[in-house]
Structure 1
Amino acid sequence: MWKAKGKNYQNIDAFLKVYGSLAPKQYTYALIRKITSGFSDKLGEGGYAVVYKGKLCNGRLVAVKLLKQSKGSGEDFINEVASISRTNHVNIVALLGFCFEGNKRALIYEFMSNGSLEKFAYHGAREHTLPLETLFNIGVGIATGLDYLHRGCNARILHFDIKPHNILLDEEFRPKISDFGLARLCSQQENTISTMDIARGTIGYIAPEVFCRNFGGVSHKSDVYSYGMMILDIVCGRKNIISDEIQQSSNMYFPQWIYKRLQHGEEVGILNDHEKALERKMILVSLWCIRTYPSNRPSMTQVIEMLQSGVELLQMPPEPYISSPPTLANNSSETISLVE
């Protein structure tokens, strides 16, 4: 036990020495309790963490992510802190500090007043509705943040868990990518990851090559796939439109259903001409992003160019025919690791 504890703190010390003044502030657990007023204001809860609203001594509002359980020597936790500490971008959530004290681990982020994109993503469960143009701008912002992670940092950061739940919105609905717990760092020269021994991601958003290497190598294109599935969700509202029509055809999965509607010029909602163009553009880009083989998907740089181009310039991609296991669509918020 003492050896394990010693290794934990060696990891922290090594991290702080490497990052020096660039490392986020380290907080004690007692101070975390004070910041959150005894964990009295819960913002949300997932499988591995609970998020509380807090306030720093300078009055700044923060979101404190308290991990429910700690595993191993804390390397995954330090990996998350190290990954996000490397970032500085308007579409990446800012990490202000962390707590690593015994088995108590927490992350302190900037507070995002509109919460996660998840509550706006699915029509059937929406607390609020957002105009299609706002959703489009959110999609562009997420693409810009991912492009920064993939080629704007000294080390390429692969997120591996892009989904509505991990996109936070500020008071003006500007998106910020959060939750780097599954992220991997690699050099800009690496085209694929060869050392990843488990599949990681969230059911319904995992790229085919992540759970089956026969489709290709795992790379930044795996994030592109997750992005494409997420944009299909927010523009089409998957949980709302999987209705009698699609249930009667059990062999047709969500992107195929969308593809068929697009082929026949059918809009998902009641839209004006401008909204029709935005919807078609987002769907076309998404369908390109979820191509089965990574080599056939665009990079995030190309995704941004496609989103900024005229919809008449975008070609129709081939029909999608494979995704993550089809039974996963009903549990799209569950994060998993699959041992190969």
Structure 2
Amino acid sequence: MAAISRIHHSNVVRLLGFCYEGTRRAIVYEFMPNGSLERFICLQEAKPPRHLLNWEQLHKIAIGIARGIEYLHQGCNQRILHFDIKPHNILLDHNFCPKISDFGLAKLCSRDQSVVSMTGPRGTAGYTAPELFSRNFGEVSCKSDVYSFGMLLLGLVGSRRRINFQSESQSHTQVYFPIWIYERLSLEKDLELQVEMGGDEEIAKKMAIVALWCIQWNPKDRPSMTMVIQKLEGHSQSIEMPPKPCISSDIEIDSYQC
């Protein structure tokens, strides 16, 4: 609570108070009228139907989240590793400004500490970096949050698809979306996104390319959040395609059920 109370950033939720009385535990945040970002990703079964955010809005939200994570990594007296970046933990105010919330799995470390020790994996399946499952993939660091952000970005892009991308030869097997979108981008094919969203599809392509950089299997190959912001604010033509994402059958990485 002490660490969160000292956080002041437009893209991190503001703590108003807390209760710690016997078995009663509660945290009071500022009211966020638009709820969580998850409500605007899983739209297919939403009742009543929810507002469909266009690509400019999604892009602005993505940059806001990235700035919030960068602040946690670089702007605080102590570096804060969130370890649970996902749409459910991104709250939206009345102007759809994103704010990072839920620091229940977060870990504090010094600003000059690049690697942190962990006793076991933490986070949400589908968004958790591979090194949190096995150190064979690399050391746990702020790059673990970068991976989670990349999966969140892919979730934003994937939620606006207008097709059910299944393998033609395996009609009952869901294709791993990062591989699907990597191949579409490499071949310069249409991403099969919803046309009614309006806006520039180049934004969606840029978000997808940045996301693919963020989910590189080796943490050293992922950009810092500062570089992520630069890429998101730049032109898609200036961003190189990353190596093809790896897949491990030992880790549950399918998070595109919406």
Larger helix proportion of the pair: 1
Other-structure match for 1:213: 135
Task: Pick the aligned partner of 1:156 from 62, 79, 90.
Answer: 79
Q: How many residues align?
A: 252
Task: Pick the aligned partner of 1:197 from 81, 105, 119.
Answer: 119
TM-score computed with the length of structure 1 as normaliser: 0.69
Measured after TM superposition, the shift of residue 259 of structure 1 is 0.9
CA RMSD of aligned residues (A): 2.4
> Matches of 1:170 and 1:212 in 2, distance apart?
37
Other-structure match for 2:2: 82
Query: Structure 1 residues 269 and 240, CA, compared in 2 at 3 Å: closer, same or farther?
Result: closer
Other-structure match for 1:118: 38
Query: Structure 1 residues 324 and 224, CA, compared in 2 at 3 Å: closer, same or farther?
Result: farther
Choose 273-282 or 217-226, whichever is displaced more.
273-282
Other-structure match for 1:225: 147
> Matches of 1:323 and 1:172 in 2, distance apart?
39
Q: SS of the counterpart of 2:184?
A: helix
Measured after TM superposition, the shift of residue 123 of structure 1 is 4.1
Deviations 1:65-107 (A, max 9, x none): xxxxxxxxxxxxxxxx233223110000001000001111000
- Conserved in 2, the CA contact under 8 Å of 1:124 and 1:239? no
Choose 251-260 or 287-296, whichever is displaced more.
251-260
Structure 1: tracts of 5 or more residues without a match: 1-80, 334-340
Measured after TM superposition, the shift of residue 317 of structure 1 is 0.6
Query: Structure 1 residues 275 and 293, CA, compared in 2 at 3 Å: closer, same or farther?
Result: same
> Matches of 2:256 and 2:19 in 1, distance apart?
31
Corresponding letter in the other structure for 1:215: F
- Conserved in 2, the CA contact under 8 Å of 1:83 and 1:183? no
Query: Structure 1 residues 242 and 155, CA, compared in 2 at 3 Å: closer, same or farther?
Result: farther
Query: Structure 1 residues 211 and 259, CA, compared in 2 at 3 Å: closer, same or farther?
Result: same
Task: Pick the aligned partner of 1:182 from 105, 116, 135.
Answer: 105
TM-score computed with the length of structure 2 as normaliser: 0.90
Q: SS of the counterpart of 1:124?
A: coil
Other-structure match for 1:38: none
Corresponding letter in the other structure for 2:29: Y
Other-structure match for 2:213: 288
Other-structure match for 1:97: 17
Task: Pick the aligned partner of 1:237 from 159, 173, 176.
Answer: 159
Corresponding letter in the other structure for 1:225: Y
Corresponding position: 1:267 with 2:187: no
Choose 251-260 or 97-106, whichever is displaced more.
251-260
Task: Pick the aligned partner of 1:141 from 46, 64, 84.
Answer: 64
Corresponding position: 1:256 with 2:179: yes
Structure number with greater CO (CA < 8 Å, separation at least 6) is 2
Larger-Rg structure: 1
Measured after TM superposition, the shift of residue 262 of structure 1 is 1.6
> Matches of 1:332 and 1:159 in 2, distance apart?
24
Query: Structure 1 residues 326 and 129, CA, compared in 2 at 3 Å: closer, same or farther?
Result: farther
Corresponding letter in the other structure for 2:60: N
> Matches of 1:332 and 1:250 in 2, distance apart?
13
Measured after TM superposition, the shift of residue 220 of structure 1 is 0.4
Identity of aligned residues (%): 52
Deviations 1:260-315 (A, max 9, x none): 12223222314499522101110000000000000000000000000111111000
Measured after TM superposition, the shift of residue 332 of structure 1 is 7.8
- Conserved in 2, the CA contact under 8 Å of 1:203 and 1:331? no
Measured after TM superposition, the shift of residue 122 of structure 1 is 2.9
Measured after TM superposition, the shift of residue 131 of structure 1 is 0.7
- Conserved in 2, the CA contact under 8 Å of 1:204 and 1:324? no
Query: Structure 1 residues 289 and 241, CA, compared in 2 at 3 Å: closer, same or farther?
Result: farther
- Conserved in 2, the CA contact under 8 Å of 1:122 and 1:238? no
> Matches of 1:311 and 1:330 in 2, distance apart?
25
Structure 2: tracts of 5 or more residues without a match: none
Query: Structure 1 residues 274 and 233, CA, compared in 2 at 3 Å: closer, same or farther?
Result: same
Q: Trace 1:2-41 onto structure 2 (pairs within 5 A).
A: none
Corresponding position: 1:309 with 2:234: yes
